[in-house]
């Protein structure tokens, strides 16, 4: 095992200990059924639109892809499923990860996934997430050190689970380059906070829980709602306004080769044009 992979394994084991879980790969139908149940508790999706089926998990595991669970005292409290990605990006694509909130289980799962990839000579992991969910953006960009590579409007089409129902499924494709210096720091428990650059233009800001759009600059800040999952059912009009504003500005900047370089403590994407 190379030095970087060995360190990644130790960091993953440490994260699991701190979260009070054991993370391991899965290979039995009963375990895949457990993953299905964990995801069902999180997303409460219609069976026809569940994040992943037991049969597909079985096929992925058997063909050498990534299916893992996190266990606390024998109970599964989180899981992650991924598959090998083809060119041009390569690496591992993490299709779905779900865990009990607030205990560090998600972090332990991602570090296990990182170690798994590095042990197999893979240099990056990618996945998608909703750009409006601020806590996920913080976890992905700050706590893990990933960087968005592409804005994907309506990526999954209509979704019917309780979290996403009634909204469009815009996603950011995040790339986690596993050995970059800021990722090494993040995985060692030293995440780098992003400070808004001097002269940055606030291209999307919040006023009374509604987005206000302004002309972007070479460096722009794009705000996110404080709690889009609560806002969507309480005020669907405001929820849709946020979706369209972030799609227009963040999606537009990334379409012009803008690079998302971090997320501020206030939940603003920092986007720099070339």
pLDDT beyond 80 at 28: yes
Listed by start position, the domains of the chain span 3-187, 201-272
pLDDT tens-digit map of 174-198: 999 999 999 999 999 999 999 999 9
Q: Which helix (H) or strand (E) holds 32?
A: helix 29-43
pLDDT tens-digit map of 221-264: 999 999 999 999 999 999 999 999 999 999 999 999 999 999 99
The stretch 27-43 carries a mean pLDDT of 94
Overall CATH class of domain 3-187: alpha beta
pTM of the model: 0.93
Q: Residue 39's pLDDT is what?
A: 94
The stretch 100-127 carries a mean pLDDT of 95
Q: Residue 271's pLDDT is what?
A: 98
pLDDT beyond 90 at 133: yes
pLDDT tens-digit map of 41-54: 998 877 767 889 99
The stretch 46-67 carries a mean pLDDT of 91
pLDDT beyond 80 at 89: no
How far is 29 from 222, CA to CA, in rounded Å?
A: 44
Torsion of CA 89, 95, 101, 105, to 10 degrees: -70
């Amino acid at each position: 095992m190379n030095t970087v992979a060995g360190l990644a394994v130790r960091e993953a084991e440490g994260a699991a200990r701190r979260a009070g879980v054991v993370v391991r790969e899965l290979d039995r139908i009963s375990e895949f059924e457990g993953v299905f149940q964990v995801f069902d508790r999180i997303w409460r999706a219609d069976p026809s639109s569940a994040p992943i089926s037991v049969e597909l998990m079985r096929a992925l595991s058997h063909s050498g892809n990534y299916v893992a669970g996190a266990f606390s005292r024998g109970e599964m409290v989180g899981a992650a499923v991924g598959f090998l990605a083809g060119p041009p990006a390569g690496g591992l694509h993490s299709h779905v990860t779900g865990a009990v909130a607030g205990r560090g289980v998600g972090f332990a799962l991602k570090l296990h996934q990182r170690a798994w990839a590095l042990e197999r000579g893979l240099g990056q992991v990618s996945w998608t997430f909703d750009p409006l969910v601020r806590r996920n953006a913080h976890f992905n960009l700050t706590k893990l050190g990933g960087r968005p590579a592409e804005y994907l409007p309506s990526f999954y089409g209509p979704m019917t689970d309780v979290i996403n129902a009634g909204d469009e499924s815009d996603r950011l494709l995040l790339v986690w380059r596993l050995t970059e210096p800021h990722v090494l720091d993040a995985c060692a428990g030293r995440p780098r906070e992003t400070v808004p650059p001097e002269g940055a233009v606030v291209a999307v800001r919040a006023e009374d829980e509604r987005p206000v759009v302004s002309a972007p600059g070479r460096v722009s800040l794009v705000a996110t709602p404080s709690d889009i999952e609560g806002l969507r059912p309480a005020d669907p009009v405001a929820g849709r306004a946020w979706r369209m504003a972030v799609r227009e500005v963040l999606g537009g900047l990334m379409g012009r080769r803008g690079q998302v370089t971090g997320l501020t403590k206030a939940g603003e994407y920092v986007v720099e044009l070339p």
